[in-house]
Structure 1
Amino acid sequence: MKHNFGAGPCILPKEVFQEASQAVIEFNNTGLSILEISHRSKEFEQVVIEAEALVRELLHVPENYSVLFLQGGASQQFAMVPMNLLPEGGKAAYLDTGVWASKAAKEASKLGNVEIVASSSDKNYTYIPQGFSVPSDAAYFHFTSNNTIYGTEIFEKPAVGIPTVVDMSSDILSRVINVADYDLIYAGAQKNMGPAGVTLVIVKNELFGKSGRTVPTIFDYQAHAKAGSMYNTPPVYSIYVSMLNLRWLKAKGGVEVIEQENIIKARTLYDEIDRNPFFKGTANVEDRSRMNITFVMDTPEQEAAFLNLAKERGLVGIKGHRSVGGFRASVYNALTISSINALVDTMREFEEKTK
């Protein structure tokens, strides 16, 4: 048995894989594969309608927000956000908590002035900055809620008095949020929502046209909202599998239930990291992520031996990002507690063998 701790594309429930694989052969008694049906067909239109309805239900999205299924990943949103929200000559405020937050700010700087209100780069992004101020004349404030590489997460939205944009690519649908606290949320699906290829955007309608720029239609949120995420050929299969996964999440009891499971999974692993003398966490305790748990060996020379043991025990994807080293266990929604227990057992086995 394999236990998939990879950072993305994400693990998905077995029942989702099974239904999705069947649809590749034949979708919804159409005699056609989901891969070949028309994106303008009534059958696929129903998929998009259901996917949007599930997002709205699971996240309690207010009526004055649009739910969009786009392409290009979060990286495209790094550009689309300032295109749509940042006026010519205007200023945007960014919180720098990791590689992706830094890349988002760099992309926005090509379209206007960017003020980095705080950064944790001085300690290799091992903490979340506190006590920073956001300029009131900025068009918007942007932050990344979960930092997959460094294992930090922001659970409470910073209190700011301007429109707030958040990249929730790696923790969307993993915990309860109040969508109304944000003006724009974007998330690559490939962590908790579905396969790579589709990006979820939840945007307050009053932001449409806010930048005053002439935005190419393909990058215009309002154009996509008017077209119901069908302005261009959408990522049909990615949206379909995301819909199946959203159904699965609803059947489990929704975000409220999965959050409690995620708390237990993260606590179980962190407890072992803190107990086991061979391992130590890399992120500040108060800023630890539930989704991406980063840790190293107390003796780095032993890391290769632990990776070999982990491989023998069927643990996949735990090698840490090169920026941090050590190990990273990505604990997304579909990862079961049994996989967490398998990793904990392997850490204890290594401890016993190496004493």
Structure 2
Amino acid sequence: MVKIHNFGAGPAKLPEEVYEIIKKELTNYENSGISLLETSHRSGTYLKLNTEIQAVVRRLLNVPDNYKILFLSGGGQGEFAAVPLNLISRTGTADYVVTGAWSAKAAKEAKKYGKVNVVTPHTERYEGIPDQSTWKLDPNASYVHICTNETIHGVPLVADMSSNFMSKKVDVSKFGVIYGGAQKNIGTSGVALVIVREDLLNHALPICPSILDWTVNVKADSILNTPPMFAVLQWIESKGGLEKMAELATKKSSLVYNIIEESNGFYYAPVAKNARSKMNIPFRIGSAKGDDALEKEFLKGAEALGLIQLKGHR
């Protein structure tokens, strides 16, 4: 059988060593005689794991003591609703920096719960991040939502880090809230990691469901309901932490971008160089819009060689 190389952005490929750990733990987690998947989230075994994983997050990101760490159902898209439900009540308005499809979805979801000000110029194609001098921020906004690591002072900065969580160090203290789906870098699909500053708790709208209410989930220590049970965070820490993850991300992405740049136009990267991701590398074949016939042939040949999930998001 051809060795499979999985290029899925998320759910993403697990490290080989994590495969082996899961195999051992699947039927007998820490000599309990049962799988972690069938372990009660109220049991001492799970409570210990819950505490350990929060501690790993706090160490990896140097999370200050005045921030709470939550593992919540619904993934990143669940937090598109949770953010306004928990934060927009202060003024009823929020600023959204729309730089791509996911931030556009987040802004659309937030409009259900208050007034949304899209601070960036409208565009049909997302090929870079508009210069900050073009942003039209509302001083009355309850928060500013971004999908990058820029810092804006004056109001809480909320960052969706689904794609690059745990791929490098970030200064958590510059953000009011950081959230992201776990399936790209840190765990299984369906769970979101949320890091929220304590002063932003206790502001949820009355209509906010308990499952999305950060304050309720802080009080329940992330086990208001049965959470997903697997994580990759211990492996990240054992391999040298976020400094090593950043080094590997740069090395791997550079290999791909170098091939694109040296292909004499056969491959085309539609994102400005100063905005290129080290996590997700969009590319077309033939031109910015791509040659459909050639791309289908490329994908067919790639799959025959064991290179799967290269087509990417639509």
TM-score range, shorter chain: over 0.9
**CA shift at 1:117, angstroms?**
0.2
Query: After superposition, where does 1:62-77 map in structure 2 within 5 Å?
Result: 62-77=64-79
Residue-by-residue CA offset, 1:314-341 (whole Å, 9 max, x unaligned) = 111111433xxxxxxxxxxxxxxxxxxx
Any idea what SS the aligned residue of 1:128 has?
A: coil
Whether 1:311 and 2:299 are equivalent positions in the alignment is: no
2:85 match: 83
User: How far apart, in 1, do the equivalents of 2:38 and 2:76 lie?
Assistant: 26
User: How far apart, in 1, do the equivalents of 2:51 and 2:152 lie?
Assistant: 34
2:128 match: 127
2:31 match: 29
What is the TM-score of this pair, normalised by structure 2? 0.92
User: How far apart, in 2, do the equivalents of 1:305 and 1:220 lie?
Assistant: 47
Any idea what SS the aligned residue of 1:118 has?
A: coil
User: How far apart, in 1, do the equivalents of 2:261 and 2:282 lie?
Assistant: 12
1:233 match: 226
Residue-by-residue CA offset, 1:85-112 (whole Å, 9 max, x unaligned) = 0117611000112221111111111111
1:302 match: 294
Residue-by-residue CA offset, 1:177-203 (whole Å, 9 max, x unaligned) = 111111001111000001112110000
Whether 1:262 and 2:249 are equivalent positions in the alignment is: yes
Matched residues, percent identical? 40
User: How far apart, in 2, do the equivalents of 1:282 and 1:136 lie?
Assistant: 33
2:212 match: 219
Residue-by-residue CA offset, 1:279-299 (whole Å, 9 max, x unaligned) = 111111111111111111126
Query: Is this contact kept in 1: 2:204–2:213, CA < 8 A?
Result: no
How many residue pairs get aligned? The number is 305
Q: Which amino acid aligns with 1:183?
A: G
2:142 match: 139
Stretches of structure 2 that go unaligned for 5 or more consecutive residues are none
What is the TM-score of this pair, normalised by structure 1? 0.82
Q: Which amino acid aligns with 2:86?
A: N
User: How far apart, in 1, do the equivalents of 2:50 and 2:280 lie?
Assistant: 30
Query: Is this contact kept in 2: 1:120–1:126, CA < 8 A?
Result: no
Work out which of the residue numbers 177, 194, 199 in structure 2 matches 1:184: 177
Query: Is this contact kept in 2: 1:188–1:196, CA < 8 A?
Result: yes
Work out which of the residue numbers 158, 162, 173 in structure 1 matches 2:155: 162
Query: Is this contact kept in 2: 1:88–1:111, CA < 8 A?
Result: no
Any idea what SS the aligned residue of 2:195 has?
A: strand
C-alpha RMSD over aligned residues? 1.6
User: How far apart, in 2, do the equivalents of 1:159 and 1:10 lie?
Assistant: 31
Query: Is this contact kept in 1: 2:85–2:205, CA < 8 A?
Result: no
1:107 match: 109
Stretches of structure 1 that go unaligned for 5 or more consecutive residues are 146-155, 323-355
Which runs of 4 or more aligned residues in structure 1 lie more than 3 Å from their structure 2 counterparts after TM superposition?
211-216
Q: Which amino acid aligns with 1:266?
A: S
User: How far apart, in 1, do the equivalents of 2:90 and 2:172 lie?
Assistant: 28
